[in-house]
Structure 1
Amino acid sequence: MSSAEKPLIGHLVIVGVGLIGGSVSLALKKAGVVGHVTGVGRNRDNLELAQRIGIVDAWTHDVGEAVRDADVVLLAVPMSAYASVFAAMAKTLPEHAVVTDAGSTKQSTIIAANKFLPGPERFIAAHPIAGTEKSGAGAAFAELYEKRLCVITPVGDSSATALALVMQLWEKTGSRVVTMDAAEHDDFLASVSHLPHLAAFALVNAVRRQKSEGHDPFCFAAGGFRDFTRIASSSPEMWRDIALSNRDALLGQLDAFQQELNGMREALLADDADRLLKEFSAAREAREAWLAKHGDGL
């Protein structure tokens, strides 16, 4: 981009400069489509690190002050913080500014935007399906979103201009952008993202509670346990907020999962080898078909 060209985003404000928000900034800077990036957060050390390694050009603790001349605002904060962040920016957000987010649930996000933002039609909810179990600015990297799916959930009165800009933003990070209904998104993510995290936390706790004076059960854990429970190293606070913000959809998925577990329990009680084999084989075939179609799950 030459010095005479105007960037896609003149001033980007990122509220929550961790793995997700930091990686967006690095990706957009790498693509040369952002002018100035301001970071907002509570942790001074994290913000100073973000500036030192080039994620942000400036930072502040004050959301309202940060967004005064923003062109785009990205929320990358815990779900429980949305209402307070929207409220804090409501009086100073410019009329032209577009707001988006990177949260894992969308219906609760849209409700909060409609309640607190002065121009909710300029809020375009988004969910980049990417991440690691690490957190903080130091975990961010520009390639996090490359070839990853980003789901955008516009509503009936969403601004067409805002939607186009948000779609471009996420495309410039390397994401494959799709749009869908917010409720449908929340149902799907409850099954393939939120439920696995609850299952991983539950399994680790089940094993933890088996500890005896003689033996630590974790001493016997190998690759299978490590692979299954990797996501249990994720932020407990973040996943608490996600679970509560998508409670209804997640409860339905927990019921479906419990039904599957009950079926396996019944097969074990009945010493029903055929039923176990049938269920295990069906699961294996479904997973192999998914991998064949989507590679590593992208």
Structure 2
Amino acid sequence: MMKTIVIDGLGLIGGSIALAIRQQWPQYKIIGVDINHHSLTYAKEREIIDDGFAQLQNCAGKADIILLAAPVSVILKHMDQLTQMQLKPGVIITDVGSTKKQIMAKASLFIDQGIHFIGGHPMAGSHKTTITASRANLFQSAYYFLISDTLNDRPSKKAVDELQALLFGLNVKWQLVSARQHDQIVAQISHLPHILASGLVNMAQDEFRGSTLSLKLAAGGFRSLTRIASSDPDMWTDILLSNRQTLIDKIDTFNELLQHVKAAILSSDRTAIRNYFRRAKITRDSINAQASSHSPNFYDLFVNIPDRVGSVAEVTRILTEAEINLINIHILEIREEINGVLQLSFSNQNDLADAACALKQHGLSVIRGE
């Protein structure tokens, strides 16, 4: 049976979901909606979508399933618009918004009309946000939250089964939570870290202003810690404002933690300082142990490269000639007259193994694969 899927928002998430649906259900018609003409053109040329529109009202009436993949503020506006449109009987509307309380509050408008609304959020992504970075296996082994607030009756559970069947190719781990639980979780493990990473980068910029060393020293751990500060500023402004009170509480709590550390340093309290780091180490090591028991959604290879012009290009040339698909490349550290380290990401273990073999054959030093 052929279905029509409308995906509203063709960024990294919307584009990746479209690719996964295309692979799993090639007979389905996928319609993309985006105000960015270049995103629609890119998606159509690569057959990620079958048709594209700038406005949701031009195609929503054709949809069996509507997936809202725009920023939260846009999702809320489009939910209002959808309540005024003539939609197919039995249509399912879902979203992938980064926060859920506001969205689920507005979902009552659909319930009153007998329309199934399923709140959702796949916990995977990248600091790259456009459709050009999308890939079908972006979500592999990631958690995909479904919001329990409106899923209390049998018809809703049937709609969830239909949505999960549609998204089967994502290979995610489904997790049912309330909207409140969700926003608390993402505030702690995603939103607050983005605030801190950007704060560290801004502080370093101020600290190094006028220095001849500037940010050249900001490599290694600092660069890895603050990678997420490269994320889209408009998107993260929208996310923070949609989770305001929860984040204010988290910031206050973190300020208290910093004050305790400051007091321990002022008083030269070695025990308190050591306990601060020891507690974090125990928790962080347990995260590593849990993560290693699951399949990753990407596979990393670390390669030593010499400090000379063309070293990075040589690596990419070798992989291209070997027809190995490279998902991402990250320069971890390069210092003058010292070998640098490239982090190469692949979608599967076979590509990683083939890449390691090809690079070694060309005399490059592979440190390890993960």
Scaled by the length of structure 2, what TM-score is found? 0.74
Letter of the 1:36 partner, please give it: K
Structure (1 or 2) with the greater strand fraction = 2
Alignment of 1:256-295 (within 5 A): 256-295=253-292
Asked whether the equivalents of residues 128 and 149 of structure 1 are also in contact (C-alpha less than 8 Å), the reply is yes
Measure the CA separation in 2 of the matches of 1:40 and 1:171: 22
- Which residue is equivalent to 2:185? 188
Measure the CA separation in 1 of the matches of 2:271 and 2:169: 50
Alignment of 1:243-254 (within 5 A): 243-254=240-251
Q: Secondary structure at the match of 1:14?
A: strand
- Which residue is equivalent to 2:9? 16
Letter of the 1:137 partner, please give it: I
Q: Secondary structure at the match of 1:68?
A: helix
1:199 aligns with 2:192: no
Q: Secondary structure at the match of 1:209?
A: helix
- Which residue is equivalent to 1:70? 63
Asked whether the equivalents of residues 25 and 55 of structure 1 are also in contact (C-alpha less than 8 Å), the reply is yes
Inter-CA distance 212–146: structure 2 relative to 1 (3 Å threshold): closer
Q: Secondary structure at the match of 2:274?
A: helix
- Which residue is equivalent to 1:140? 134
Measure the CA separation in 1 of the matches of 2:273 and 2:293: 27
- Kindly provide the CA deviation profile for residues 39-89 of structure 1, in whole angstroms up to 9, marking residues without a partner as x: 001010111001111211110012012111101111111111122212233
Match for 1:42 among 31, 35, 38? 35
Inter-CA distance 286–103: structure 2 relative to 1 (3 Å threshold): same
- Which residue is equivalent to 2:216? 219
Q: Secondary structure at the match of 1:142?
A: coil
- Kindly provide the CA deviation profile for residues 161-193 of structure 1, in whole angstroms up to 9, marking residues without a partner as x: 222222333333111111111111111111011
Letter of the 1:257 partner, please give it: F
Q: Secondary structure at the match of 2:226?
A: helix
Measure the CA separation in 2 of the matches of 1:206 and 1:268: 20
Letter of the 1:209 partner, please give it: D
Q: Secondary structure at the match of 2:148?
A: coil
Asked whether the equivalents of residues 87 and 116 of structure 1 are also in contact (C-alpha less than 8 Å), the reply is no
- Which residue is equivalent to 1:3? none
1:54 aligns with 2:47: yes
1:122 aligns with 2:119: no
Which moved further from structure 2: 210-219 or 248-257?
A: 210-219
- Kindly provide the CA deviation profile for residues 26-49 of structure 1, in whole angstroms up to 9, marking residues without a partner as x: 111112266000000101011100
Which moved further from structure 2: 94-103 or 280-289?
A: 94-103
Which moved further from structure 2: 247-256 or 28-37?
A: 28-37
- Kindly provide the CA deviation profile for residues 132-177 of structure 1, in whole angstroms up to 9, marking residues without a partner as x: 1112111110010111110100324562222222233333311111
Inter-CA distance 120–96: structure 2 relative to 1 (3 Å threshold): closer
Match for 2:87 among 71, 87, 93? 93
Uncovered stretches (5+) of structure 1, i.e. residues with no partner: 1-5
Measure the CA separation in 1 of the matches of 2:12 and 2:21: 14
Q: Which has the higher contact order (CA 8 A, sep 6+)?
A: 1
Measure the CA separation in 2 of the matches of 1:184 and 1:29: 32
Letter of the 1:276 partner, please give it: I
Larger Rg belongs to: 2
Q: Secondary structure at the match of 1:210?
A: helix
Shift, 1:268, TM fit? 1.4
Aligned length: 291
Asked whether the equivalents of residues 147 and 176 of structure 1 are also in contact (C-alpha less than 8 Å), the reply is yes
- Which residue is equivalent to 1:241? 238
Measure the CA separation in 1 of the matches of 2:67 and 2:27: 13
Letter of the 1:28 partner, please give it: I
Shift, 1:295, TM fit? 2.5
Asked whether the equivalents of residues 150 and 170 of structure 1 are also in contact (C-alpha less than 8 Å), the reply is no
Q: Secondary structure at the match of 2:29?
A: strand
Which moved further from structure 2: 25-34 or 283-292?
A: 25-34
Shift, 1:120, TM fit? 6.6
Give the percent of matched residue pairs that are identical in Structure 1 and Structure 2.
32
Shift, 1:216, TM fit? 5.2
Measure the CA separation in 2 of the matches of 1:98 and 1:162: 7
Measure the CA separation in 1 of the matches of 2:20 and 2:142: 13
1:103 aligns with 2:97: yes
Asked whether the equivalents of residues 190 and 249 of structure 1 are also in contact (C-alpha less than 8 Å), the reply is yes
Asked whether the equivalents of residues 186 and 249 of structure 1 are also in contact (C-alpha less than 8 Å), the reply is yes
Q: Secondary structure at the match of 2:87?
A: coil
Letter of the 1:124 partner, please give it: I
Scaled by the length of structure 1, what TM-score is found? 0.91
Measure the CA separation in 2 of the matches of 1:234 and 1:119: 37
Inter-CA distance 212–173: structure 2 relative to 1 (3 Å threshold): closer
Letter of the 1:223 partner, please give it: G
Letter of the 1:239 partner, please give it: W
Q: Secondary structure at the match of 2:283?
A: helix
Q: Secondary structure at the match of 2:216?
A: helix
- Kindly provide the CA deviation profile for residues 264-291 of structure 1, in whole angstroms up to 9, marking residues without a partner as x: 1111111222211111011011000111
